């Protein structure tokens, strides 16, 4: 019997301990008596009992609003009788269910609130009386030095001092070559002799080569334009009485064809002639030259449009001074009839004197245009 009595006391003691542990582990059920909504901060203030469990770390307060499954944030400072929670948005006017618990298994508190529309702003209250003037604070530290001001306007010029003594005369400078006083234009195709006038030791030359002619059209395709002639400027050393040969290159002829206008193969335009200035004779190593532009090229069959000819360049075999050379612009390619290639123009950087390559033929079996002849201008 002694052993049985000890077993009974052990069982009763264990049951008492388990009940005490279960009571210590149970969370309190929140009870909400009032809820206030602040429309300015979107915050709800809950007033009641058991809002903060004695074991808040183990059984924190969780509050749900409306149909949301996300718990609202409980602001710091909650007590057993008051807690403030933050809504993530401004709710529309209407009725909403608030649910609160510290441990879902111990019970859930439900509370309905109605959110009304925000009323109008009340009138501004009267301005309060002005308070007394406070005591004067201590003097602050001296601030840093400001930036230097702008320089003032320049004062008036003082009186002119006395004239100094005349300096010694400097040495006589070298005799100049003299300025340019005359010019002559050569525009006739061919070679013309020119005699250097007395007292002239240098002559400036501007030379344009002849432009190429445009290629002819087929019965279905337009011709290409001829290339513009080259350009060169330089100063040539000469002696009075010396004879110079001035050659002006002609413009290239436009391409043409003969026979009936059926499946015609176009012909290319002619090459523009070279223009030059040099000493008398046939020695090519004593002249400066602007080359003629290439004629527009035929397409090679009866349906292919013509190609534009390339522009002429320049050469200097005279030993000129201050050389400035430019290559003529290329003629443009032809297309279908009505869209013929245009001739290349005067090189960029030269005088604009209206020289250009011949245009391509633009109507069925039409001949290409002739290129412009070159020009030479001598200035001394």
Structure-token pair, residue 8: 């009974």
Cα gap 229→375, rounded to integer Å? 10
Cα gap 51→27, rounded to integer Å? 11
Residue 365: CB atoms within 10 A of its CB come to 20
Residues of the chain with pLDDT under 50: 1-26
Which residues are CB-neighbours of 119 under 8 A, at least 6 positions away? none
pLDDT of residue 357: 74
Choose among 347, 371, 373: nearest CA to 359.
Answer: 371
Question: Does residue 378 contact residue 204 with C-beta atoms inside 8 Å?
Answer: yes
Structure-token pair, residue 114: 């109605």
**Residue length, the chain?**
380
| Ramachandran sector of residue 187 (left: φ over 0; alpha: ψ -120 to 50; beta: rest) | alpha
Give the tens place of pLDDT for each residue, 328-363.
899 999 888 888 878 877 776 666 566 777 887 788
Residue 241: CB atoms within 10 A of its CB come to 10
pLDDT of residue 58: 86
pLDDT of residue 349: 61
Side-chain-side CA neighbours of 265 within 13 Å: the count stands at 2
pLDDT of residue 284: 52
Question: Does residue 184 contact residue 217 with C-beta atoms inside 8 Å?
Answer: no
For tokens 């718990």, what's the residue? 71
pTM: 0.52
Going from the C-alpha of 314 to that of each of 233, 274, 344, the distances in angstroms are 10, 9, 16
Strand 314-316 to 287-290 pairing: antiparallel
Give the tens place of pLDDT for each residue, 117-163.
767 877 888 888 887 988 888 988 898 988 988 888 898 988 988 98
Alpha carbon 116 to its chain's center: 56
| Dihedral angle, C-alpha 296, 298, 303, 305, nearest 10 ° | -20
For tokens 């079996």, what's the residue? 365
Going from the C-alpha of 357 to that of each of 216, 273, 331, 370, the distances in angstroms are 14, 12, 7, 7
pLDDT of residue 260: 80
pLDDT of residue 8: 33
Choose among 102, 98, 101, 103: nearest CA to 87.
Answer: 98
The three state secondary structure string of the chain is: CHHHHHHHHHHHHHHHHHHHHHHHHCCCCCEEEEEEEECCCCEEEEEEECCCCCCCCCCCCEEEECCCCCCCEECCCCCCCEEEEECCCCCCCEEEEEEEECCHHHCCEEEEEEECCCCCCCCCCCCCCCCCCCCCCCCCCCCCCCCCCCCCCCCCCCCCCCCCCCCCCCCCCCCCCCCCCCEEEECCCEEEEEECCCCCCEEEEEEECCCCCCCCCCCCECCCCCCCCCEEEEEEECCCCCEEEEEECCCCCCCCCCCCCCCCCCCCCCCCCCEEEEECCCCHHHEEEECCCCCCECCCCCCCCCECCCCCCEEECCCCEEEEEECCCCCCCCCECCCCCCCCCCCCCCCCCCCCCCCCCCCCCCCCCCCCCCEEEEEC
């Amino acid at each position: 019997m002694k052993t049985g009595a000890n077993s009974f006391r052990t069982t009763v003691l264990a049951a008492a301990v388990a009940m005490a542990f279960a009571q210590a582990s149970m969370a309190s059920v929140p009870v909400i008596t009032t809820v206030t909504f602040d429309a300015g901060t979107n915050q709800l203030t809950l007033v009641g009992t058991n809002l903060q469990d004695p074991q808040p770390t183990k059984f924190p307060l969780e509050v749900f609003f409306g149909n949301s499954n996300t718990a609202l944030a409980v602001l710091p400072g909650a007590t057993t009788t008051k807690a403030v929670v933050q809504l993530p948005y401004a709710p529309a006017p209407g009725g909403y269910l608030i649910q609160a618990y510290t441990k879902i298994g111990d019970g859930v508190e439900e509370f309905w609130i109605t959110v009304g529309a925000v009323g109008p702003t009340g009138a501004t209250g009267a301005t309060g009386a002005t308070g007394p003037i406070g005591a004067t604070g201590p003097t602050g530290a001296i601030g840093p030095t400001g930036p230097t001001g702008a320089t003032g306007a320049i004062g008036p010029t003082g009186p002119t001092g006395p004239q100094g003594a005349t300096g010694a005369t400097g040495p006589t400078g070298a005799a100049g070559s003299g300025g340019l006083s005359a010019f002559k234009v050569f525009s006739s195709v061919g070679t013309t002799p020119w005699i250097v006038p007395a007292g002239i030791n240098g002559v400036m030359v501007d030379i344009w080569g002849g432009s190429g002619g445009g290629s002819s059209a087929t019965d279905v395709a337009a011709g290409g334009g001829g290339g513009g002639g080259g350009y060169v400027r330089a100063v040539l050393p000469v002696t009075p009485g010396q004879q110079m040969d001035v050659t002006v290159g002609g413009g290239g002829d436009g391409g043409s064809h003969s026979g009936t206008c059926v499946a015609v193969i176009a012909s290319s335009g002619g090459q523009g002639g070279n223009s030059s200035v040099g000493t008398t004779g046939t020695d090519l190593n004593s002249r400066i030259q602007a080359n003629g532009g290439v004629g527009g090229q035929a397409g090679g069959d009866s349906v292919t449009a013509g190609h534009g000819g390339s522009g002429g360049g320049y050469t200097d075999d005279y030993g000129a001074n201050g050389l400035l050379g430019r290559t003529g612009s290329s003629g443009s390619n032809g297309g279908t009839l009505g869209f013929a290639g245009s001739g290349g123009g005067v090189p960029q950087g030269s005088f604009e004197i209206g020289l250009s390559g011949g245009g391509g033929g633009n109507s069925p079996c039409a001949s290409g245009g002739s290129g412009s002849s070159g020009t030479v201008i001598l200035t001394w």
